[in-house]
Structure 1
């Protein structure tokens, strides 16, 4: 879990926040969420990541532990159960995708400030 949080925070401009209380940990870029991490729920941790709707659907079909986003827009967010069934490298790719989706939708002046 620590590796996943560290990976999220290594992204240019990434900050952590707790806008909803002590859980979940929210990782943002330019004030926009790209990852929500729920730790130790029902013996597993979870991460919500933004995703292109077509890719999101494919991931859900391919992986049992990838589901529509918990408490999120189910079309644009996935919840991934961090139970070890997916390689960390695959989760990192999903984090990259979420971050890129958020950054590409930022206003141009904010994107230029980030320069990722």
Structure 2
């Protein structure tokens, strides 16, 4: 997967915004749904993506795939860092990006979830 495909896929979800949320850092690109991050990457060196993941699934994926590591600079229980340029299939990466998005949406307050649902209409 290249960065253009990654960016396009992330932006295809409802209510998603992109930006550089960290002070004085214009290389770390974050994708957010309702102001909550679900994916992060470096735009200059697209060799990793941080994605939120169910803790049990996160541990399993790390055991199964060499290109999946504990989340770099993130809560290692809930985040994985994946190598988009490695052996992982693009469809598998898309599945994990979608899972990350859905996990963040599920954790939103009900009021924000309803607002997001209205955006779909």
* Alignment check: 8 A CA contact 1:39 1:46 kept: no
What's the CA shift for 1:40? 4.5
TM-score (norm 2): 0.89
Q: CA RMSD in A?
A: 1.2
- Normalising by structure 1, we get a TM-score of 0.93
Question: Does residue 1:105 correspond to 2:107, yes or no?
Answer: yes
Alignment correspondent of 1:58: 60
Q: As a proportion of its length, which structure holds more strand? A: 1
**Alignment partner for residue 27 of structure 1, among 31, 40, 43?**
31
Moved over 6 A (4+): none
Question: Cα offset for 1:16?
Answer: 0.1
Count, aligned residues: 114
Paired with 1:84 and 1:63, the residues of 2 have a C-alpha distance of 10
Q: Runs of 5+ in structure 2 lacking a partner?
A: none
1-structure distance, mates of 2:43, 2:34:
24
Check the 8 A contact 1:14/1:29 in 2, yes or no.
yes
Q: Which residue of structure 2 aligns with residue 36 of structure 1?
A: 40
